Amino acid sequence: MTTMTDLTIRPFEIHVPDEDLADLRRRIAANRWPSRELVQDRSQGVQLATVQELARYWTAYYDWRACEARLNALPQFKTEIDGEDIHFIHVRSPHAGALPLIITHGWPGSVIELLEIVGPLTDPAAHGGSAEDAFDLVLPSLPGYGFSEEPAETGWDPGHIALAWAELMRRLGYTRYVAQGGDQGAAVTDAMGRQAPEGLLGIHLNFLRGALGSVGDLPADSEEERAAAAAISTFMTNGSGYFLEQATRPQTIGYALLDSPVALAAWMLDHDTDSYLKISRAFLGGQPSGGLTRDHVLDNITLYWLTGTGASAARSYWEGGQAAAHAAGQAPSDITLPVGFTMFPGEIFRAPRSWAERLYPNLTYYHQVGKGGHFAAWEQPQLFSEEMRAGFRLLR
């Protein structure tokens, strides 16, 4: 399954200077706070009580060094692809015959949201599964996110990243592999499926991204389909402010994201209602939902702050929007590879099987699970891992 590793791949470790952490605490302490929102819900945005408690915990209790040690305990690497340094985690399974799997994170996530699935996927026998379902894991940081280099030129849209990921897998020596993604990662994984690079056996998604722009062309006959259409309408009307800003003016919001850690945290929390309410409860009520704990949430936000990638990550939406505009009126190429999809109930909308089949006629796996939301691997790592085993079992 594998051949000789490319020598351009370099080991990588994280060592953040103490001064960077001290500067972070100083900036949080000096934050200028707005007055409280004038409503009782989140309809005016991220609520003051949530962000103030997050800031208090951030300065009083949070320990970045624990996260840093956790990342450095995993095999991390960098390699240059198309002139950009790409950071990735690469964990080989202890089991023979493991299936290589590349998973792409989204926004406002990072490789942080995927750390809890490393054990269950690479060593399923130790986590209630079977050795026959083991994966070799490749977890790259999107260009401009985390420790991947910030693109110096435009053009790093999902299609370009998909080509880079195929090159990464080739460079690692994998001659057959599968790919998975949600959120922005779903766009990259979808592009990989359409490009069908040599060795790619199939893909799995946990976000039906294509439905956002084509809901009018999708069936709305059943109650389930109408509910999904209504949820998309609500999101586009009341919940997509961050999407519009980042897709059209990422540089503008970037000034706040690079200057104020509190602004960065609030911006990242304002993604979707389900995730926001769960994170808010974790800070205000001490009731985390699965992996969405206070420390894990701050691991992710702190990674964005320390790497200064708030603006460059936001630009990924602009890149996707530009690519979509250039492709307007052109029918996308078909995906002939097998496609799997898992619907997590807390997602922005609950994609019906009929929609998944319309967008992916070669759908070979569809399953609705009972818990979890947009950040599925982060919130429910064990359940997510079980879905990966089931979704890719036929491709081994």
Report, as residue numbers or ranges, the catalytic residues: 183, 317, 374
Distance CA 5, CA 172 (A): 5
Instruction: Render the burial of 103-132: b for 16+ CB within 10 Å, e for the rest.
Output: bbbbbbbbbbbbbbbbbbbbbbeeeebeee
Angle subtended at Cα 278 by Cα 268 and Cα 67, rounded to the nearest 5 degrees? 60
Distance CA 260, CA 97 (A): 47
Q: Which of 317, 358, 389 is nearest to 123 (CA)?
A: 389
Distance CA 117, CA 380 (A): 9
Tokens 């919130």 belong to 379
How far does CA 222 lie from the centroid of its chain?
30
DSSP per position, 213-242: TTGGGS---SHHHHHHHHHHHHIIIII-HH
CA distances for 290 relative to 67, 262, 361, angstroms: 18, 24, 33
